Amino acid sequence: MEPNNKKIAIGWFSFSCCEDSTIVFTELMNDHWQEWKHIFDFRHVKVLKTHNIMDAFDIAFIEGAIASPEHVEKLKHIRSISKKLVAIGACAVTGGPSAQRNNFNDEQKANIAFLVERFGALPEVLKVSDVVTVDASVPGCPMNTDIFLKAVTALIAEFRPDLATPPVSN
């Protein structure tokens, strides 16, 4: 067993999306920053810091859909170094709206084909669970904050039972 006083190492990664859940995460920090600062090791959270470390995570939060072969490889790597992986927001959980081009008609697909090809994007945009095993999902566009906080509370209880608090819903 690892020592129980270790901070929980988290990574927050955005793939193809509008990063609305990242913004909501920074808004939740307005109320939770003092608590989270002591619980979390923000190991790889590019919205917050410059020196990000990609080694091992207790929890990886994945926002956005998977749009390219590089995205697939990066996501698989993150999965391989993370104990838990949480899909965040509609694009990660269901693919859309970032996957809207999957449902284009033939004319629309023809209009965008050269751009899909030029930048080497995948033929179809994927949701996170198409590529890796997902341990928890927080749906919503942007993510539902109640479900996110419940998921975070449950994960804190798992990694740091000494800090566990009863689930809250605000």
The residue within the footprint of other proteins, chosen from 37, 81, 123, 167 (CB under 8 A), is: 37
User: From residue 83, how far is each of 19, 55, 104, 167 by CA, in Å?
Assistant: 23, 12, 37, 22
Stretch that binds other proteins, among 1-9, 76-84, 95-103, 128-136 (CB under 8 A): 95-103
User: From residue 42, how far is each of 1, 6, 9, 54, 94 by CA, in Å?
Assistant: 22, 13, 6, 11, 26
Q: Is 14 in the site for other proteins (CB under 8 A)?
A: yes
Stretch that binds other proteins, among 29-37, 79-87, 131-139, 149-157 (CB under 8 A): 29-37
Q: Is 102 in the site for other proteins (CB under 8 A)?
A: no
**What one-letter code names the amino acid at 62?**
I
Count residues near other proteins (CB under 8 A): 44
Of 67 and 132, CB closest to other proteins: 67
Q: What does DSSP say about strands 40-45 and 136-138: parallel, antiparallel, or unpaired?
A: unpaired
Of 31 and 73, CB closest to other proteins: 31
Give the CA angle between residues 99, 154, 141 to the nearest 5°: 25
Assign 167 to helix, strand or coil.
Answer: coil
The residue within the footprint of other proteins, chosen from 8, 21, 82, 151 (CB under 8 A), is: 21
* 56 close to 11: Cβ distance less than 8 angstroms: no
Q: Which spans of this chain sit near other proteins (rule: CB under 8 A)?
A: 14, 16-24, 26-27, 29-31, 33, 37, 42, 46-52, 67-68, 71, 97-98, 100-101, 104-105, 108, 111-112, 115-116, 118-119, 121, 141-142
